[in-house]
Amino acid sequence: MNALEETAWLLLAAALPAGMAPALGQGMAPGLAKYVFLFIGDGMSNPQATAAQYYNGTR
């Protein structure tokens, strides 16, 4: 590992905990959501389902 790579890893190792430090130790504020759900679609809407049916020969 050369000096530049070593410096980059060292900066990364120092920046990650420093970036998380403001969030540590803070409790939940009243009235804020406790859980947040992120729904990610799988890409199977009508055009994809129709293409699959054409491919399988069922349509």
1-59 pLDDT tens trace:
788 888 988 888 888 777 666 655 666 567 777 888 888 777 778 888 888 899 999 87
Q: Which residue has the tokens 């990610």?
A: 40
Amino acid letter for position 2: N
Q: What is the pLDDT of residue 21?
A: 63
Q: What is the pLDDT of residue 28?
A: 59
Q: What is the pLDDT of residue 42?
A: 73
Q: What is the pLDDT of residue 54?
A: 92
pTM over the 0.75 mark: no
DSSP 8-state code for residue 37? -
Q: What is the pLDDT of residue 19?
A: 67
Q: Which residue has the tokens 């729904």?
A: 39
